[in-house]
C-alpha cells in the first residue's frame, strides 16, 4: 500500500470524519487505504465508493509507504512505513488530554492550521520533544448543491379527520425517494401533542403556534391531507396567497378555488398515487402564480356602526410562568394552557382572581410585566 489513514473510530458526524471524506473525494486517484476499528455504516458506504477501506484487527501487520494517524496511534506498532505522520485536528489543551506525539516511530507532524501548529508545538515542548509541525489545511471541494425541498403543515395530527396516517405514508415515501436519489427535504409540522410515531430525520415536529405565516411563505409546499371535511381551509388559502403551492387531498372545497396545475399536487385519499406525488414534489417545475382568495361579504352582513373600543390603559400585562404547563392549568379566558413566557393583557379584576388562585393553590402563575 502507498498511503494509509488510520482512524480508530469513524463516527456518524464530525469535522475529522469530513476531513477523511474530503481526502477520499479529492485524491481518490491516488492509492489510499482507510483503516478503522469501528466505522459508522453511512460513512463507510460513501468512503468505499472512492477508496479502499479495511477494518484493522489488532495484531494485523500492514506495510505501506506513508502512514497517517489521526488522534489515536494504537495501530502504529503493527505498521511498517517509510514515514509516520501524526495529524493534529484538535486543540488538545482544550480537550484535556495529551496527544500521542512522543512515540519513537513518529517522524512527521501535520497541523491543519497555524493555530493548531502553534498549540501542537507547545504541547511537544511541554513533553520535552521538538515537533516542528508543518501546516497543511484541510481539503474542501464544493459540489453544486441540489435544492432542499421545504414542506410545511399547520394541523392537528391527532384529529382523525386531518390525515395523520396519510402523513405517515407520505413521510415514508419521501424518505425512500430521498435516500434513493440522494435528495434532501425538511418537513416542518406545527401541531398539537400527537401519539403518531414519526421517526424520520427529515421531519421536525414543532409546538403549536399562531404566528406561522412567515414559515408558510418561506416554504416550497404546504401539505394538507385532510378528509373531505374542510369547508374553507385557511392554511391552503394562506399558502396560495403567498404563491406557495399545496399538496392536498381531493377536497371538494378546492374546486371552488379554480386552481391551475401550478398551484397544487393532488394526493389520493387512499394514497395509491403517493410515489407519483413524491416525484412531483421533488421534480415538478412550478411557474410563479398569483392567487386571490374568494372575497368575503362581511361588510354586507355586519351591523355597520363605528366602534368605540380602545385597549383599556388600566389593563395589566402579565407573563406566564411554567407552572401553567407543569400543572396543566387552563386559563379560563383563553381556554388554553399558556406557554411559559407568553404575555397577555388582563383587567384588574382578573389579575386579582389570579393572585387569589395562586395564594390558595400555592402555585406561582404570573409575573407582572
Residue 109 has a pLDDT of: 97
Q: What is the per-residue pLDDT across 86-131, written as a single tens digit (0 to 9) for each?
A: 999 999 889 888 999 999 999 999 999 999 999 999 999 999 999 9
Is the pLDDT assigned to residue 181 strictly greater than 80? yes
117 and 153 co-located in one domain = no
Residues 108, 194: one domain? no
Sheet holding 343-346, edge to edge: 343-346, 316-320, 366-368
pLDDT band for 213, please (50, 70, 90 cuts). Answer: very high
Dihedral over Cα of 51, 57, 59, 60: its sign = negative
Domain span at residue 197 reads 149-283
The total domain count for the chain is 3
Question: Of 135, 162, 179, which residue sits at a domain end?
Answer: 135
Residues 131 and 159 in one domain: no
Distance CA 321, CA 341 (A): 6
Higher pLDDT, 335 or 32: 32
Q: So what's the pLDDT on residue 197? A: 87
262 lies in some domain: yes
Stretch 351-367: mean pLDDT, rounded?
Answer: 91
Percent of the chain at pLDDT exceeding 90: 81
Within-domain flag for 84:
yes
Per-residue pLDDT at 227: 96
**Letter string b/e over residues 231-259, b meaning 16 or more CB atoms within 10 A of that residue's CB:** eebebbbbbbeeebbbbbbebeebeebeb
pLDDT, average across residues 166-193: 95
Q: The domain that contains 265 carries what CATH number?
A: 3.40.50.2000
Position 312 confidence tier, pLDDT thresholds 50, 70, 90: low
Indicate if 184 and 244 belong to the same structural domain.
yes
Do 214 and 192 lie in a common domain?
Answer: yes
Residue 82, pLDDT score: 97
pLDDT at 314: 67
C-alpha cell at 28: 481518490
Q: How far apart are CA 149 and CA 145, in angstroms?
A: 12
175 shares a domain with 71: no
On whether residue 195 sits in a domain, the answer given is yes
Grid coordinates representing 361 are 393553590
Out of 281-285, 338-342, 344-348, least confident range = 344-348
Asked whether the predicted pLDDT for residue 310 surpasses 80, the reply is no
pLDDT digits over 121-166, tens only? Answer: 999 999 999 999 999 999 999 999 999 999 999 998 888 899 999 9
Cell of 284: 415538478
Residue with cell 398515487: 273
Name the CA radius of gyration of the chain, rounded.
Answer: 30
pLDDT in tens, 268-294: 999 999 999 999 999 999 899 999 999
Q: Which pLDDT score, from 0 to 100, does residue 348 have? A: 84
> Where a domain ends, among 235, 262, 283?
283
Same domain, 157 and 115: no
Q: What is the four-CA torsion angle of 262, 263, 269, 270, rounded to 10 degrees?
A: 30
Residue 52 has, within 13 A of its CA and on its CB side, a CA count of: 12
Q: How confident is the model at residue 196 (pLDDT cuts 50, 70, 90)?
A: confident
Helix orientation angle between 274-283 and 164-181, rounded to the nearest 10 degrees:
60
Considering the domain architecture, whether residues 12 and 92 belong to the same structural domain is answered as: yes
> What 8-state DSSP symbol labels residue 192?
S
Q: Which three cell numbers stand for residue 106?
A: 513518529
In residues, how long is the chain? 369
Please say if the pLDDT value at position 301 is more than 80.
yes
- pLDDT at residue 313 greater than cutoff 70: no
- Out of 55-59, 191-195, 244-248, 270-274, pick the least confident: 191-195
127 and 156 part of one domain: no
**Is 50 inside any structural domain?**
yes
User: Which carries the bigger pLDDT value, residue 50 or residue 257?
Assistant: 50
119 and 52 share one domain: yes
The mean predicted confidence, pLDDT, of the chain is: 93
Report the percent of the chain where pLDDT is more than 70. Answer: 99
C-alpha cell at 115: 493555530
Say if 310 falls within a structural domain. no
Q: Is residue 295 part of a domain?
A: no
Q: Does 112 lie in the same domain as 9? A: yes
| Same domain, residue pair 277 and 320 | no
Contact predicate 173/275, CB 8 Å: yes
Q: How far apart are CA 363 and CA 164, in angstroms?
A: 37
300/163 Cα distance (integer angstroms): 36
Q: Specify the range with the lowest mean pLDDT, choosing from 29-43, 103-117, 174-188, 324-338.
A: 324-338
* Inside any domain, residue 141: no
| Cα–Cα distance for residue pair 276/170, rounded to 1 Å | 11
Strand intervals (E) in the chain: 3-10, 32-39, 52-55, 62-63, 66-70, 79-80, 83-88, 108-111, 134-135, 149-154, 185-191, 203-207, 221-224, 246-248, 264-266, 316-320, 343-346, 366-368
Residue 308 lies in a domain: no
| d(C-alpha 133, C-alpha 120), whole Å | 7
Amino acid at each position: 500500500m502507498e498511503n494509509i489513514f488510520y482512524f480508530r473510530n469513524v463516527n456518524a458526524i464530525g469535522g475529522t470524519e469530513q476531513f477523511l471524506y474530503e481526502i477520499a473525494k479529492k485524491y481518490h486517484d491516488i492509492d489510499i487505504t482507510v483503516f478503522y476499528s469501528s466505522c459508522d455504516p453511512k460513512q463507510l458506504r460513501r468512503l468505499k465508493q472512492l477508496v479502499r477501506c479495511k477494518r484493522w484487527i489488532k495484531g494485523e501487520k500492514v506495510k505501506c509507504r506513508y502512514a497517517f494517524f489521526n488522534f489515536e496511534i494504537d495501530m502504529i506498532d503493527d505498521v511498517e512505513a517509510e514515514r509516520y505522520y501524526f495529524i493534529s485536528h484538535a486543540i488538545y489543551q482544550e480537550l484535556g488530554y495529551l496527544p500521542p506525539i512522543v512515540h519513537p516511530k513518529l517522524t512527521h507532524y501535520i497541523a491543519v492550521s497555524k493555530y493548531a501548529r502553534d498549540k501542537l508545538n507547545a504541547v511537544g515542548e511541554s513533553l520535552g520533544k521538538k515537533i516542528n509541525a508543518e501546516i497543511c489545511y484541510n481539503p474542501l471541494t464544493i459540489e453544486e448543491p441540489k435544492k432542499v425541498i421545504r414542506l410545511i403543515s399547520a394541523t392537528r395530527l391527532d384529529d382523525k379527520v386531518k390525515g395523520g396516517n396519510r402523513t405517515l405514508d407520505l413521510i415514508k415515501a419521501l424518505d425512500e425517494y430521498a435516500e434513493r436519489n440522494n435528495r434532501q427535504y425538511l418537513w416542518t409540522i406545527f401541531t398539537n401533542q400527537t401519539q403518531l410515531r414519526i421517526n424520520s430525520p427529515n421531519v421536525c415536529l414543532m409546538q403549536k403556534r399562531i404566528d406561522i405565516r412567515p414559515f408558510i411563505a418561506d416554504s416550497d409546499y404546504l401539505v394538507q391531507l385532510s378528509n373531505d371535511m374542510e369547508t374553507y381551509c385557511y392554511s391552503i388559502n394562506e399558502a396560495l396567497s403567498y404563491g406557495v403551492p399545496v399538496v392536498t387531498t381531493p377536497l371538494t372545497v378546492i374546486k371552488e378555488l379554480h386552481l391551475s396545475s401550478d398551484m397544487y399536487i393532488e394526493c389520493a385519499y387512499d394514497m395509491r398515487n403517493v410515489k407519483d406525488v413524491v416525484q412531483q414534489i421533488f421534480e415538478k417545475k412550478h411557474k410563479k402564480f398569483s392567487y386571490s382568495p374568494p372575497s368575503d361579504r362581511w361588510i354586507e352582513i355586519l351591523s355597520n356602526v363605528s366602534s368605540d373600543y380602545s385597549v383599556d390603559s388600566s389593563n395589566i400585562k402579565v407573563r406566564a410562568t411554567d407552572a401553567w404547563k407543569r400543572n396543566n392549568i387552563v386559563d379560563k379566558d383563553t381556554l388554553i394552557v399558556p406557554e411559559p413566557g407568553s404575555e397577555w393583557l388582563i383587567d384588574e379584576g382578573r389579575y386579582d382572581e389570579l393572585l387569589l388562585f395562586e395564594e390558595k393553590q400555592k402555585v406561582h402563575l404570573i409575573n407582572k410585566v
